[in-house]
Structures are given as structure tokens and as C-alpha cells.
Structure 1
């Protein structure tokens, strides 16, 4: 796996910027059962679709804002296992912390580890004052993780263009 630029490091993980070389991984992640159920179908069906998604999504966000969704890799072998990062979304007053992992890496503490480090990075490196989190009311694992990293429920809302309401969480940094 070609390396992207590293953003941060935890005990077990590295968070690095997405590159087009991550297309195979993105194809797998965005079509995993939990991603499709709780985040939605992005219509990514081929590695070409995945490369376009990476370039027009995470890479563009990094260029525009200095942050975005990034790939979480195991330190041991730099194996991509999921993603985490800050995402600007229309309809939100600040960046949203997002996270997603391949099924075999869910429930092992990786989400808490990388999301906690991302919040620390947001506060100390990016000097953000508040981070938001959104999730479907049925996504109990995400609700639990958002609470575990210190975000508190604020309200239900519907983002522009979405059919479903989501729960909005927030944390002052």
C-alpha cells in the first residue's frame, strides 16, 4: 500500500491522508454492510469510482480546509482498517467527526483510539473550538462512541438533501 502523508499516530494506529492508491480499500469500506446500513450507499462500484471519490472528497477537503476524512492503518504493516476525520457538511455549523471501519476491526477499540486522537488534533493542531458528530438514531455503536469521546446530544436535524433525520452531537474543545 503506497503511503499517504501521516497526520497523527496512536498506540496502534496511523492516520494518513487518502491517496488514489487507496481505491481498493475505499471500494471495500464503502460497500461494507455497516457502512451501507448506517452511512449510506455512495454508488462506489469500481476502483475507478473509488479513485474519483477520493480525489473529489477526502483529497479536495484536505486541500480546501486542511482536514478531512483520512485512512486509519495498523502501525504493524500499515494495513488500512478504516477511516476517521473531520468533515465539513452543508447544514452543520462546524466540522463533523466521522469514522468507519471494516467489519473485522469493529469492537476492538480502534474507533475510540483514533477518534480521541482526532479530537486532540482538532483542538491542539487545528485550533478548532467545537466538533460535531452526526449519526442515525439506529446506529447504536456510533452513538456510544460519540458519547465515549465526550460529545453530547444536542438535537435531531435533517441535513440538506437527506431524507432521514440524524442525531446531532457536539463538544466544545
Structure 2
């Protein structure tokens, strides 16, 4: 199911047919370095991970991490969306792109669209984001879409410290 479109991207719900892509994405060395190692090593484990991390939140919350596809060719390039973590008081925006698609503005475009969706469709007044403290490219993406660094924090569910970012709706 399509969630939203931008100038170059389509965000849609993931399906089981995306399991091979997710298996590759969650095993990317940058995913392990900047997010975590979920221990997913085969297609069956990828489907199980997708069930709890992707499909279940769609049903329970009405949002989650969505598949990011290029409009020009339908190529699945990553994930982006709004996710409610137990370790954060508000919904956060998160994203991950496959290596060949980084550095082309796709993360900024998708994350910015997710902020707008959260504000306009979900009525959110505050959205958070967490990144590894040394993840400079993601810091630039978050700052470019209007998020403000809140400092380094140790969150319950994270193995190491995280840099917290926040976006708040204007009061006008």
C-alpha cells in the first residue's frame, strides 16, 4: 500500500516479497555500525524480523518504517518512516538506504516527507530521531529537515549512546 510520494520517491508498506532486500540491508556494515546487528542471517529470519519490526506496527499504530522506491524505475532503495520505540517518549523518524543510493539526497527527501506526513496526517507536534553520535551524514540529513540536536543520551534499548534530535511544530 502506497503511503506517500515525493518528487522522486514512493513510500509504501513493506511486504514479504521484500525479504531479500531487507536481509541485505540489515547486514550492511553501515547498518551494523550505525544501528545494530539484529542477528538476521537468512531469508526466514528476515521475514520474522519484518513481521515484528515492520508489519506489526502497521497494524498496531498505522505507521512504521516504509519501503522507499525510486519513481523513475521502481527500484527499492531503502526504508524510511515513523516508528514508536519503547525507549523514546515520542515517535521518531528513521531511515536506512542501500549503499548505492546514499549521498543523492534520497534520505533527506524521504525523511522530510515523513516529518510532513507525521504533522499533517498523524497530527504529531513533536518527532524525534536517534543516530549514532559519530554518524555525521545522518546528522546533516536531520539538520537539513529542521531537526535540532538535543544531546547524547543512553537509551534503554540501545547498546551505546545515541545523539537525540527533535522537531517541534511551530506554535503559530
What range is the shorter-chain TM-score in? over 0.9
Query: Does 2:9 match 1:8?
Result: no
Residue of structure 2 in register with 1:65 after alignment? 61
Gaps of 5+ in 2: none
1:8-57 CA-to-partner distances (Å, cap 9, x unmatched) read 00111100001111100100111112111111111111111111111111
State the 1:164 CA deviation.
0.9
Residue 155 of structure 1 deviates from its aligned partner by 2.5
CA deviations 1:59-82 (Å, max 9, x no partner) are 111111111011101112321100
Which one of 155, 158, 165 corresponds to residue 159 of structure 1? 155
Matched position secondary structure for 1:167: strand
Taking only aligned residues, the RMSD between alpha carbons, in angstroms, comes to 1.0
Is residue 128–residue 166 contact of structure 2 (8 Å, CA) maintained in 1? yes
Correspondence list, 1:96-111, <5 A = 96-111=92-107
| Contact 1:19-1:55 within 8 A present in 2 as well | no
Is the CA contact 2:87–2:157 (under 8 Å) kept in the aligned structure 1?
A: no
Q: What count of residue pairs does the alignment treat as equivalent?
A: 169
Which portions of structure 1, spanning 4 or more consecutive aligned residues, are displaced by more than 4 angstroms?
A: none
Q: Aligned equivalents of 1:72 and 1:78: distance in 2?
A: 9
